[in-house]
Amino acid sequence: MRALAEMLSAGDVTSVELVQHYLDQIQSTDQDIKAFLHVDREGALQAAQAADERRKAGTPLSPWDGIPIAVKDNICTVGMPTTCASRMLKDYYSPFDAEVVTRIKGAGLPILGKTNLDEFAMGSSTEYSAYQITHNPHDLTRVPGGSSGGSAAAVAAGLCPWGLGTDTGGSIRQPAAFCGVVGLKPTFGRVSRWGLVALASSMDQIGPMGRTVEDVEILFSLIAGYDQRDSTSCPDSGYEFGNESLGTLAGIRLGIPEEFFGEGLSPEVAARVREAVRRMEDLGAEVRPISLPHSAYSIDTYLTLVTAEASSNLARYDGVRYGLRVEADDAVSMFKQTRTKGFGPEVKRRIMLGTYVLTASHHAAYYEQARRVRTLITQDVESAFEEVDVVVTPTTPSTAFRIGEKQDPLQMYLSDSYTAIANLAGIPALTLPCGKDKLGLPIGIQLMADHFREDVLFWVGRMLERSLKEADSSGRI
Amino acid sequence: MGEYKIRIGLEIHVELATKTKIFCGCAAAFGAPPNSLCCPTCLGLPGSLPVLNRAAVEFGVRAALALNCTVNLYSEFARKNYFYPDLPKAFQITQHDKPLAVNGKVQYYLEDQPVETVITRLHLEEEAGKSIHSGDSIVGSEYTSVDYNRAGIPLIEIVTAPDITSPAQAKAFLEQLRLILQYAQVSDCKMENGSLRCDANISLHGESGQNGEKVEIKNLNSFRALERALAYEAKRQAKILEQGGVILPETRTWDERAQKTVRMRLKAGAPDYRYFPEPDLPPLELDEAWVEEIRAALPELPLAREERYRSALGLTAYDAGVLVRAPHLAQVFEETVALGHEPQLVANWVTGEYARFARQGSTVSGKVLGELLELIAEGAISASQGKTVLEEMFTNGVSPREFVAAKGLTVIADREVLQSMVEEVLQNHQELVKRYLEGEERLLGFFVGQVMQATKGQAEPRLVNKLLVKALTEGRNWQPREE
Ligand SMILES: [Zn+2]
């Protein structure tokens, strides 16, 4: 991205040319990938033209002024639909921009369009979109992961230089891993949720996705920061990009939780991740085995809490004020028929599960219990960070699966086995590619750090990335 | 029905008089065009988030302190989930197991006896919008219109212990509660606008153990409705119990037209609200010093004021009660007394003539009333002239001193002038004088009236009185003067 910024700055390329390039790519390739739900040709070109004029006048909004971006379609944008890939919000136009959209517009980034997702971000394959299935650019018969599968596939296929995703239990990291790109789930409270259509408010975070750790770091620096409209936003959340010193990993303590390398993990994934750990060790990092004893319960805990919060967050889609309305004889029938028609099966499944776990007679056994386990998991993580700086795990148990392969919802939920813990504990987590399996499908490695220590993740991530690249060009991978 | 003890508990909702709503910056106002005071947050649009209004917390704390509650320095917001068109998010942000305040009490009088009611809890929540059905209810209406201006106005919910023992006490309690909240300046508490709403629950307990379940009554839109509905319900339940019947836990509604309660639903079918902590709002943690600041700034409350009026200012119990129950009168009373006027005299004016004129809607400040009392005290005008001037002050907003000067009002206190008028009046009514002298003493009032009339009310009445009595007694053998 720095190269692009320099070219723009030098006048070697214009923002209009850049945007046109990506629009052409979308035009020629996206019929196969199906990453975009909406492409805003005119809007993006207009924004690019404005960026070029600012460059000419010597008043760019930021070093990245004019570099376009794609935005996941559960993030509100004025002038474009925000559908959450649901029939419920077909043709819904938000009257306001999400805070992150205000911020990227403020940095001069033209928005190419809105990317596909599992309906209301509920899913791990982007197959649950009400409109289209997104395909993995590395193998079109396979899923890109989800729910931010549209943004991941678009970045991987070169349809945009970077994109925004959202992550509630792994929805940035899992598709990034499947598509061979870099993605960050920031610390809860560091990126404003104003304008993010809620799935589970206590875990949702918007995050950057890109081709390199540096690109993700740059985009993170644009979107992070306190926002008074989000009561869970933390003061002093801003992040300054510009950390040049690469040096070594001396002094970095890596924790390897054995719980994440057990049953259910593909041997190929395990091998690549362990190899990456050895590389980091070679760069000077100290490697320690650690234990996160309650992590085995993270997926059940996550599912209980996410469905509970989702059942409440999605109750507002009742046909009264906006979105789909199925006319009926009375209001109650209208609610029922609107929700029956507007929501897909996975959304209904989660709403029913969430309603069940909150019902008075089950509240204590499920919801309260899950809250208690969440506290235990958070304590595990906190004590781990007393011993180590970064916890290293695979991002996913396997590489991208085939479209239609996972029919059992429980199997699908297990895709988030390694990622949900960061959402439960509110800590930042980065995924970056660390090789491929024998089918040529990307494998991701996940780095987790303590609250607000994204800087450590970027440092370690960049070092590992460079080491892998050098090895790749010397033919060792 | 005498053998049953009645237990009544009340659940009261009060709209707080903050300038803006509880979770967004929209104006919290009554009477604006439908849906003109709304934003993404109070409409519950996708992607919107709540931000707690500090003023709403302050008002809530003030209310809690005025009701002698313990304010919890740590409380939590929760979601109460249910579907209704006027509930934009399909959940209400409220407080559930960790409310803002607990353990309060209200002291008040019932037929001059001091009584007390325990406040179990007080919590903050948001108001819903307003549904207007084309038919009687949402079920079966052809259409329903919704106004979201009200959605998000801050509310406090106050729950009492079931220690109220009669419908009359329930009414007295609610009146006192309203007064306290008005004094604490947290709400205008207008039942007619819905800024004060009350649900009641009532159960009957017989000596031999034939207890009835708790029945909840909704739609109590006035103090009278509260009292009547409870009285109706107590009678209805007693009759069922006497006949060996069973009272089921249920929710009933007060039918104002039919003057009776009607079943809405049995509690067995009550909705499950699926409460859970509101993840979009952090717990509400209050600074103890801030709470103490609010406590210190709490205005004088009704009970303390009534006590002060009676003991320190020496007002009659009746006047003290009237003033305390009418805060706008009490304010004028205070202002006027502060200028140095004698409290009971001011109270007479304020609860009498002043209150009568004030009923028409306009007001006169204590400063201006003080000016009038000064004129009377100086003897510049008589008290009866004062009443005329006060009326002018209310209807035309005149300044008393300027008005008196402009109209040339003065008190005729000239003994000689009045003496001749007195004599003239007696001269003209010799027959009545005779009757007076024979013992019909109430005729004195008539003579005074005649003199006052003759002077267009400008005579100093006490002097007229004195001169008349003197003239009449001296003239027990009074003879008409020779022409
Ligand atoms: Zn609003």
Q: Locate tokens 């009292």: which residue?
A: B227
| Nearest residue to B69 via CA among B281, B324, B294, B283 | B294
Omega within 30 of 0 (cis) for the link into A147? yes
Question: How much of chain B is helix, strand and coil, in % rounded to 5?
Answer: 40, 20, 35
Inter-chain contact B276–A308, Cβ cutoff 8 Å? yes
Determine the Cα–Cα distance for residues A296 and A421; give it in Å rounded to an integer. 10
Inter-chain contact B138–A367, Cβ cutoff 8 Å? no
The arithmetic mean of pLDDT across residues A251-274, rounded, is: 95
CATH of A1-290+391-477, picked from 3.40.30.10, 3.40.50.300, 3.40.50.1100, 3.90.1300.10, is 3.90.1300.10
| Nearest residue to B259 via CA among B214, B202, B204, B220 | B220
- In the reported structure, the alpha carbon of residue B152 is separated from the centroid of ligand 1 by a whole-number distance in angstroms of 7
Helix axes A345-358, A298-313, angle to 10 degrees: 100
For residue B458, pLDDT beyond 80 = no
Compute chain A's Rg from CA coordinates. Answer: 21
For residue B478, pLDDT beyond 60 = no
Domains in chain B and their CATH numbers?
Answer: 4-288 (no CATH), 300-407 (no CATH), 415-474 (1.10.10.410)
Q: Residues B277, B279, B285, CA angle at the centre, nearest 5°? A: 75
For residue B23, pLDDT beyond 70 = yes
- Tens of pLDDT, residues A436-467: 999 999 999 999 999 999 999 999 999 999 99
A364 touching chain B per CB within 8 A: no
Q: Rounded to the nearest 5°, which phi and psi values hold at B15? A: -80, 130
Inter-chain contact B90–A89, Cβ cutoff 8 Å? no
B46 touching chain A per CB within 8 A: yes
Determine the pLDDT at residue B432: 87
Two tokens at B404? 């008196």
The arithmetic mean of pLDDT across residues A151-167, rounded, is: 98
Catalytic one of A15, A86, A147, A415? A147
Confidence class of residue B483 from pLDDT cuts 50, 70 and 90? Answer: very low
Confidence class of residue B482 from pLDDT cuts 50, 70 and 90? Answer: very low
- Tens of pLDDT, residues B370-429: 999 988 888 788 788 888 889 889 988 888 888 888 877 777 767 777 888 888 888 888
Q: Is B140 helix (H, G, I), strand (E, B) or coil?
A: coil
- Compute the nearest-CA separation of B137 from chain A (Å): 10
Two tokens at A182? 């870099």
Two tokens at A432? 């970056």
- Tens of pLDDT, residues B116-132: 999 999 999 999 999 88
Confidence class of residue B209 from pLDDT cuts 50, 70 and 90? Answer: low
Catalytic one of A62, A171, A192, A221? A171
- In the reported structure, the alpha carbon of residue A321 is separated from the centroid of ligand 1 by a whole-number distance in angstroms of 15
Inter-chain contact B47–A194, Cβ cutoff 8 Å? yes
Q: Is A191 helix (H, G, I), strand (E, B) or coil?
A: strand
Q: Which of A76, A320, A329, A368 is the best residue to mutate to test the B interface, defined by the most B CB atoms within 10 Å of its own CB?
A: A320
The arithmetic mean of pLDDT across residues A118-147, rounded, is: 98
How large is the ipTM? 0.96
With contact defined as beta carbons under 8 Å apart, do A255 and A277 qualify?
A: no
Determine the pLDDT at residue A244: 64
pTM recorded for the entire structure: 0.89
The arithmetic mean of pLDDT across residues B72-77, rounded, is: 98
For chain A, the average pLDDT equals 96
The arithmetic mean of pLDDT across residues A85-113, rounded, is: 98
- Tens of pLDDT, residues A395-435: 999 999 999 999 888 888 888 899 999 999 999 999 999 99
Q: Is A160 helix (H, G, I), strand (E, B) or coil?
A: coil
Determine the Cα–Cα distance for residues A147 and A336; give it in Å rounded to an integer. 26
The arithmetic mean of pLDDT across residues B246-258, rounded, is: 92
Helix (H) or strand (E) holding B107: strand B101-110
For residue A281, pLDDT beyond 50 = yes
Respond yes or no: is residue A171 known to be catalytic. yes
CB contacts < 8 A, A to B, total 104
- Tens of pLDDT, residues A313-329: 999 999 999 999 999 88
Q: Locate tokens 């992961």: which residue?
A: A145
Confidence class of residue A477 from pLDDT cuts 50, 70 and 90? Answer: very low
Which residues from A are below 8 Å from B280, CB to CB? 198, 201, 231-232
The arithmetic mean of pLDDT across residues A321-344, rounded, is: 93
Q: Rounded to the nearest 5°, which phi and psi values hold at B195? A: -80, -10
Catalytic one of A34, A72, A185, A406? A72
- Alpha helices in A368-453, H assignment, sequence order: 369-387, 409-413, 420-425
For residue A301, pLDDT beyond 90 = yes
Respond yes or no: is residue A245 known to be catalytic. no
pLDDT above 90 covers a percentage of chain B that reads 60
Helix (H) or strand (E) holding A278: helix A267-282
Two tokens at A13? 């390329």
The arithmetic mean of pLDDT across residues A228-244, rounded, is: 91
Determine the pLDDT at residue B1: 42
For chain B, the average pLDDT equals 90
- In the reported structure, the alpha carbon of residue B413 is separated from the centroid of ligand 1 by a whole-number distance in angstroms of 66
Q: Is the model more confident about B110 or about A253? A: A253
Which residues from A are below 8 Å from B47, CB to CB? 75-76, 82, 94, 96, 98, 194-198
- In the reported structure, the alpha carbon of residue B50 is separated from the centroid of ligand 1 by a whole-number distance in angstroms of 9
Confidence class of residue A121 from pLDDT cuts 50, 70 and 90? Answer: very high
Beta partners for residue A182, in sequence order: A210
Q: Rounded to the nearest 5°, which phi and psi values hold at A182? A: -100, 140
